[in-house]
Structure 1
Amino acid sequence: MKVLFDSSPISRFGVEVGTNEVVLAQDFSCMVFMMEEYLALGITEISIPSSHPQAKLISSMPRILAEKVEVVNDYNEILAAGRLLHHCRAEIGATYDEADGRIGFKKETPREIRELVVECHGIVRRLAYGFNRQANVELLSSRSLCKLTELRQTITDPNERIAIAQLEGVLSKTKDYTFDAVKPQSDLPMALLGSLDKLINDPSYISYSRAVSHLGPGERGQAAMTDVRHYGRVIKESKIAELLWSTMVVAVSVLGVQVPSFVDAGRLLPERRFPLLLDMKAARQRAIANWVSNCKDSAPLNLSSSNREIVWLRPSPSIEASVAGSPHTSMGKVGDLLAILKEHDDLLEKTQGAAGDRL
Structure 2
Amino acid sequence: MIVIGFESSCDETGVALVSTEHGLLAHALHSQIAMHEAYGGVVPELASRDHIRRVLPLTREVLATAGIGMDQIDAVAYTAGPGLAGALLVGASVAQSFAWARGLPAIPIHHLEGHLLSPLLATPQPAFPFVALLVSGGHTQLMRVDGVGSYELLGETLDDAAGEAFDKTAKLMGLGYPGGPALSRLAEQGDAAAFELPRPMLHSRDLDFSFSGLKTAVLTRLRSLEKASGGLSEQQRADLAAATEAAIVDVLGAKALKAMRQTGLKRLVVAGGVGANRHLRAQLLGAMKSMGGQVFFAPLELCTDNGAMIAYAGAMRIKAGLADLHDSSHAFTVRPRWDLHEVCVATA
> What is the TM-score with the length of structure 2 in the denominator?
0.26
Larger Rg: 1
Q: TM-score, normalised by structure 1?
A: 0.26
* Larger strand percent: 2
